[in-house]
Amino acid sequence: MKVLIAGGSGFIGSHLCDYFLGKGDEVVCVDSLITGSKKNIEHLKDNQKFKFIKHDISEPLDLEIDAVLHFASPASPVYYLKYPFDTLKAGSYATHNLLDLAKKNNALFLLASTSEVYGDPLEHPQNESYWGNVSSTGPRSVYDEAKRYAEAVTMAYHNYHGLKTRIVRIFNTYGERMMPDDGRAMPNFINQALKHQDITVYGDGSQTRSFCYVSDLVRGIYQLLISDESMPVNLGNPNEMTLKDLAFYIKDIVGSEGKFVYQDLPEDDPKLRCPNITRAQNILDWTPVVGIEAGLKKTIDYFKYL
């Protein structure tokens, strides 16, 4: 296949570039570089099957392509609050443009959605039939609602035009090439631990997350793309842990001497976040295989040399 990966120089996008090239496919990486980094794809510059195009996908793009993967959006609170309108455009204009491109080429289309569509959930763990508890006016709404709109327009193209679409709802993912300053718990904890600084925990640390290593996620995304499933599918690791436990775990691995410092919980920050992956297991025969200890050690080793 010839695959377009919008947001392909970002954390997950760059790993997808590697994965598809490893399958023998051609990859066109399109990125505005607002939050992506060319360092993430530097190792691919001499690969004859790889092409990079600097472009804001909220403006149309014309290519001959077999599959379109839409990963073009700021994804951490620090960056979607810094770039609110770019985030909203990534969910709206960019999604329309990429769907039109897929329609023109009769190509597969895969949308990177997010567990944030569930908001601060009243159902736990979250399965795909849950409609969510989301504020349309809160500080996180520029991201949450952009993704919810992107899902809606993707389903409209599928139902009205018969486009072959896929929607993946991505839960917390970690690994090499995460941005160290993206403001999320894991890179914050790792950076502070490596520098032997005090470790900042928001709230009392009892809020939960479930962390999926990036190689597991990318494998699931590929399996979803080549499936026939058009409805949203959760991908994430169902092994839930509190953020305070994660902080202790990272502190222990690193051998940090920092103390824990507690700050107020950010507005609309979800208290619980854990995927029900039954549909992924049944439809895709997918389950994560990388344990938190192995994944954390690889991630921490990467952060040591930034």
Q: Which two tokens stand for residue 301?
A: 């080793």
Helix (H, G, I), strand (E, B) or coil at 50: strand
Burial category of 295 from C-beta neighbours within 10 Å (exposed 0-12, middle 13-18, buried 19 and up): buried
- Is 174 in the active site? no
**Chain position carrying tokens 């950076």:** 191
Cα dihedral 176, 181, 184, 186 sign: positive
Q: Please identify which of the residues 19, 79, 80, 143 carries the catalytic annotation.
A: 143
User: How crowded is the C-beta side of 203, counted as CA atoms within 13 Å?
Assistant: 16
CB 138 within 8 A of CB 179: no
List all residues 6 or more positions away from 11 whose beta carbon is below 8 Å from its beta carbon: 40, 75, 173, 175, 177, 178, 179, 214
Residues involved in catalysis = 143
